[in-house]
């Protein structure tokens, strides 16, 4: 019993080790595809893409009644009798962003990433007034037909880039330098329309004379967007930086002046309120004093003897407004 168990463990270890070297068996990382070749020709592929299934020579979305076929047997996929059947290795070239700069990379790989967003840089694109621009776009691709991608187009990403470049060149050529560098809202709607044209490049065509990217390389473009559009000449870049600095300094001075005006206005309003308050206080105090004096005089008259009061009233009646006797 122990001997059988030890034999099984040894067999598992052997199969696992062989799979690491793509001999007889292989592992397929999540979200990737591996191509099996017979000699130098395409034979089959295995995949580990969730929500998709193999249909003949390409991947198609799963339907409600379908079962996933991406897991293999405990993560292992059968390749075939080695060395007749092997996992295909190829040199893949792509671009990546390092420190804000586009860097070209090249590596020998044995998988295709099914869905990935690649930065693509296009140089020497001229505006309508002959300024050369550099455009960087982010493009999300889906490689659903590995046979076309690796055996018909060789480097499928270069074909995708070349197809997009002609569209980008036409788009930049429609506008002047000022329009490209101007307000985003001015060409935002046209950018959206342009992105739709890029996505439409990959849609399957019914016309054999004008095949789509999906027909040529088995790759679809699912989204695209502009990362940046910059002038290619460093002198233009430096000039724009200086203009930006001047604009920022001017804005700062305007804001400082506006702040001073606001403070002065608030002080003036405070002084006006203070003056209004003082005037109200003076008027109010004068009225109060006058009322008090009037009330005091009345009380004093009331306190006089009756005959004296009558005399005072008569005397007052005989005196005119100017103080003269009638």
Max distance between CA atoms of the chain, in angstroms, equals 151
Q: Which residue(s) pair with 228 in the sheet? A: 136
| pLDDT (0 to 100) of residue 321 | 44
| pLDDT (0 to 100) of residue 88 | 95
Cβ contacts of 203 within 8 Å, gap of 6 or more: 212, 214, 220
Q: What digits encode the pLDDT tens for the residues 148-200?
A: 999 987 789 999 999 899 889 988 898 888 877 765 566 677 777 788 888 88
Percent of the chain having pLDDT more than 90? Answer: 26
What are the backbone dihedrals phi and psi of residue 55, each rounded to the nearest 5 degrees, phi first?
-130, 100
How high is the mean pLDDT of the chain?
A: 78
| pLDDT (0 to 100) of residue 202 | 74
DSSP 8-state assignment for residue 210: S
Q: What digits encode the pLDDT tens for the residues 196-255?
A: 888 888 775 555 667 788 888 889 898 888 888 888 766 666 666 565 566 556 656 656
pLDDT bin (cut points 50, 70, 90) of residue 147 is very high
| pLDDT (0 to 100) of residue 213 | 83
| pLDDT (0 to 100) of residue 254 | 59
Q: What digits encode the pLDDT tens for the residues 194-213?
A: 888 888 887 755 556 677 88
Q: What digits encode the pLDDT tens for the residues 2-15?
A: 788 888 888 888 88
| pLDDT (0 to 100) of residue 178 | 80
Q: What digits encode the pLDDT tens for the residues 247-296?
A: 556 656 656 656 765 666 677 666 666 655 655 555 556 555 556 655 66
Q: How many CB atoms lie within 10 A of CB 198?
A: 20
Residue spans of alpha helices (H) in 127-176: 146-147, 156-173
Angle at 180 between CA 178 and CA 185, to 5 degrees: 105
Angle at 275 between CA 269 and CA 280, to 5 degrees: 125
Percent of the chain having pLDDT more than 70? Answer: 65
Q: What digits encode the pLDDT tens for the residues 59-118?
A: 988 887 777 665 667 778 999 999 999 999 999 999 998 888 889 999 999 999 999 999
The burial of 95, by beta-carbon neighbours within 10 Å (0-12 exposed, 13-18 middle, 19 or more buried), is given as middle
At 100 the three-state DSSP class reads coil
Cβ contacts of 105 within 8 Å, gap of 6 or more: 93, 94, 95, 96
Architecture of domain 90-232: 2-Layer Sandwich (3.30)
Q: How many CA atoms lie within 13 A of 132 on its CB side?
A: 7
Task: Enumerate the domain spans of the chain.
Answer: 2-87, 90-232
The C-alpha atoms of residue 76 and residue 279 are separated, in whole angstroms, by: 96
| pLDDT (0 to 100) of residue 105 | 92
The C-alpha atoms of residue 239 and residue 218 are separated, in whole angstroms, by: 44
| pLDDT (0 to 100) of residue 185 | 60
**Would you say 33 and 112 are in contact if contact means Cβ atoms under 8 Å apart?**
yes
């Amino acid at each position: 019993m122990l001997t059988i168990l030890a034999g099984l463990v040894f067999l598992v270890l052997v199969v696992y080790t062989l799979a690491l070297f793509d001999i007889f068996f292989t592992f397929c990382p999540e979200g990737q595809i591996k191509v099996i070749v017979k000699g130098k020709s395409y034979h089959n592929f295995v995949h580990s893409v969730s929500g998709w299934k193999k249909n003949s020579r390409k991947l198609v979305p799963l339907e409600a009644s379908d079962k996933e076929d991406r897991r293999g047997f405990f993560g292992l996929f059968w390749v075939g009798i080695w060395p007749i059947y092997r996992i295909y290795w190829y040199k893949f070239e792509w671009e990546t962003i390092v420190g804000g700069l586009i860097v070209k990379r090249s590596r020998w790989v044995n998988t295709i990433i099914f869905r990935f967003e690649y930065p693509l840089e296009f140089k020497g694109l001229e505006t309508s007034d002959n300024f050369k621009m550099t455009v960087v776009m982010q493009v999300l691709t889906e490689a659903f037909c590995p046979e076309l991608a690796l055996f018909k187009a060789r480097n499928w990403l270069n074909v995708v880039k070349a197809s997009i470049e002609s569209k980008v060149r036409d788009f930049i050529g429609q506008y002047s330098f000022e329009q490209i560098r101007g307000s985003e809202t001015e060409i935002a709607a046209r950018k959206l329309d342009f992105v739709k044209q890029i996505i439409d490049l990959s849609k399957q065509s019914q016309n054999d004379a004008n095949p789509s990217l999906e027909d040529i390389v088995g790759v679809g473009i699912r989204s695209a967007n502009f990362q940046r559009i910059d002038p290619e000449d460093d002198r233009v870049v430096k000039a724009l930086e200086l203009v930006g600095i001047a604009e920022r300094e001017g804005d700062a001075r305007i804001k400082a002046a506006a702040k001073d005006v606001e403070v002065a206005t608030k002080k003036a309003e405070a002084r006006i309120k203070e003056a209004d308050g003082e005037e109200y206080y003076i008027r109010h105090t004068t009225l109060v004093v006058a009322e008090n004096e009037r009330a005091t005089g009345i009380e004093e008259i009331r306190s006089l003897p009756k005959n004296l009061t009558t005399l005072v009233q008569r005397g007052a009646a005989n005196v005119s407004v100017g103080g003269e006797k009638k």
